[in-house]
Amino acid sequence: MNTALLATPASYIVNALLVVTAVDTQTEKDPDAKPQPVLLTSDAAVIAAASAVLSSGEFKAAANETVLIHSPAGVNSPRLLIIGLGKLGLGKAASITPQSVRNAAGTAVRYAKPRGIRELAFALPEHASLSPAAAAQAATEGAFIGDYDPDTYRSDRKDLSIQSFILLAPETPELKAAMQTGFILGESQNFTRSLVNEPGNKLTPTEMGRRAQVMAHEVGLKCEVFSTEKLHELKMGAFWSVSQGSEEPPALIVLRYEPANAPKDGPVLGLVGKGITFDTGGISIKPSEKMEAMKYDMAGGAAMLGAMRAIALLKPNVRVLSVVCAAENMPDGKAQKPGDVQTAMPFKDGEPGKTIEIINTDAEGRLVLADGLTYARQLGATHLIDAATLTGACVVALGMVNVGAFSNDDPTIEKFLAAAKITGEKFWRLPLGDEYAEQIKSDIADIKNTGGRYGGAITAAEFLKHFVGETPWIHLDIAGLAWVEDTKPYIAKGPSGIAVRTLFEWVKSY
């Protein structure tokens, strides 16, 4: 998709689908009161062209609601699409968020695609509460996110991609930079989505490592990919225990971003991702229903790769390393069994690694992350964040609305939650505590890999906490949001690319 920033008045646009946004300014508490939609543009010709439909009561300006006007009077474009941003709010609290703009731009793109429209001009919403730069970045992100479709392997697939996205706004350096940032973040999120969308027979651990290397070469990251021999050398017994049941060898993917001017005594941020390219559950095999969805069990690792791509291109002045542990979890005759005891990677030579009693082989993600977190610490990470489609329990707790977030350090997670407010992605902090840690104590080993039915997302986080030491750490359980179950106006059904943009903002905050 080509992008451009133009200061041309909206009504002057000739060939593209012209898109403007509207809000409902009705502030009465009566839910039956008639909506009062208002366009967020100062272009008098566009306002006049839309006046009849806005006054009819048919269009309420609800979030992502659309109405199309053909041959709008006084406007050069043959089509005028109005997209609602929702209620403006009450009194002094009245505001418009970048997230609503992001979704509106995605809605515009997804509206245009099936109608064969290839060029789109989006008028940047004009409102005192909205930062033009934040809106420009959000709109560009939304356009790229909306343009992605997951029908990669359809033999009758037609390329319906938007060819040109024009943002109508002042041509200032600030808005140009914001649009470029949005372009990179949107593309990086789609890079993650393309990985998550791949079937397990196409994206093996080895192939995931190869694609990481290709991406790293393109954007200037250092990248190394290791396999079985390295796992044994590092004594990654937890990671290897998941891999041992598969014919496909594991991949230990290590990426480094090292800006020349970063302070030598500054932080080193460690991004660790679960990369289970297919999860059968192992010997504790999953039910067959919806097992095909388990190709997405590498979404945490893919999010880290997408974030590293954005970091390399947007160049924050902080050192970052990423460790992605990719493997298949299969029920082969060599696979680990419930009751086995595995030894995780030691942090220092000469130290014993923690021993883990395997209660359920389907609790494998925490095993690969255990060694990944330890290795990131060993490589010098001063702050850690991991992402994983880790537990169904987190989905039960938070539904498909919020990512579960855990941390051993308040300032670190406060930085992350502040970053999430910028990106519009939803995270909810869940607790840790000694009472939960008791649930994963083992009679035969140091710890066990499940803590029973109750508090499953929390006990999984407590398991990971054993492998971070005193390092400030965040754990993201993205199981409920890594896959969009139903098509939304602004994003296709399928992989979401959750956390990529927030990970970047968190890194930038350092």
Catalytic residue positions, numbered: 286, 366
Cβ–Cβ contacts within 10 Å for residue 407, how many?
A: 24
Report the alpha-carbon distance of residue 94 to residue 430 in Å, rounded: 30
Say if CB 61 and CB 20 are below 8 A apart. no
Number of alpha carbons in the 13 Å side-chain half-sphere of residue 60:
10
Helix (H) or strand (E) holding 343: strand 341-343
- Tokens at 387, concatenated: 């992402």
Report the alpha-carbon distance of residue 192 to residue 305 in Å, rounded: 7
Give buried/exposed letters for 218-229 (b at 16+ CB in 10 A, else e). ebebebebbbee
Report the alpha-carbon distance of residue 226 to residue 256 in Å, rounded: 14
Say if CB 466 and CB 455 are below 8 A apart. no
- Tokens at 240, concatenated: 């290897």
DSSP state of 149: -
Residues 6+ apart with CB under 8 A from 247: 330, 332
Residues 6+ apart with CB under 8 A from 101: 21, 85, 125, 130, 135, 138, 139, 142
Report the alpha-carbon distance of residue 76 to residue 164 in Å, rounded: 18
Say if CB 307 and CB 221 are below 8 A apart. no
